Amino acid sequence: MNKHPYVRAYLAGIAIPTAVLLLVMTGYTIVRYVYDIPVPIEKVIVFPMAAVPNAWGLWNVLYLAFLAKPKRHFSLGLFGGALPLLLAPGGYVVTRLLGFAVPHEVYQIAPLALPVGLIVYYLVWKYFVGFLNAELGIA
């Protein structure tokens, strides 16, 4: 199975956020329309729906192209763990561009949320994306 390794890397990358997105969207829909929470998240939902899964896929392609074996072996967990350093500012820029009023609590919790996000991304990339890469023969 040596054909199209970058396509397989892209597909392995987008699999996890795409699956999680289904759960997150269900949760947001229930919270927004069943419990009438006054946060118009649909204005900025384009970021997790479109940008994040594609970023994961492209990040995995970059890893395969430049950092994976046999060229050199850099930790997939550390590489994936660095992705929030791009996504967090990206998400913030999207909210600003679309005029979304970010709740004040988000700014208060951001210094704690970023390290937690880095840890979550490190673990998810190391174990889940790594598993998918191995299953697709590109690990």
Partner 1 sequence: MSEREMEELKKLLKESMPAVRGPELRRDLWPAMRQRLAEPAIRMPWWDWALLAAAAVVILLFPTMIPTLLYHL
Exposure string of 7-28, with b = 16+ CB inside 10 Å and e = fewer, is ebbbbbbbbbbeeebeeeeeeb
Q: Report, in Å, the least distance between residue 87 CB and partner 1.
A: 5
- Closest to 45 measured CA to CA, from 20, 28, 31: 28
Q: Report, in Å, the least distance between residue 24 CB and partner 1.
A: 5
Q: Report, in Å, the least distance between residue 15 CB and partner 1.
A: 13
Sequence-ordered list of residues with C-beta below 8 angstroms from that of 52, at least 6 positions apart, any chain = 17, 21, 87
Smaller CB distance to partner 1: residue 5 or 117? Answer: 117
Write out the residues near partner 1 by the rule CB under 8 A.
17, 20, 24, 27, 44, 47-48, 52, 84, 87-88, 91, 105-106, 109-110, 112-113, 115-117, 119-120, 122-123, 126-127, 131
Smaller CB distance to partner 1: residue 50 or 106? Answer: 106
Smaller CB distance to partner 1: residue 20 or 58? Answer: 20
Distances (CA, A) of 123 to 80, 82, 95: 9, 11, 27
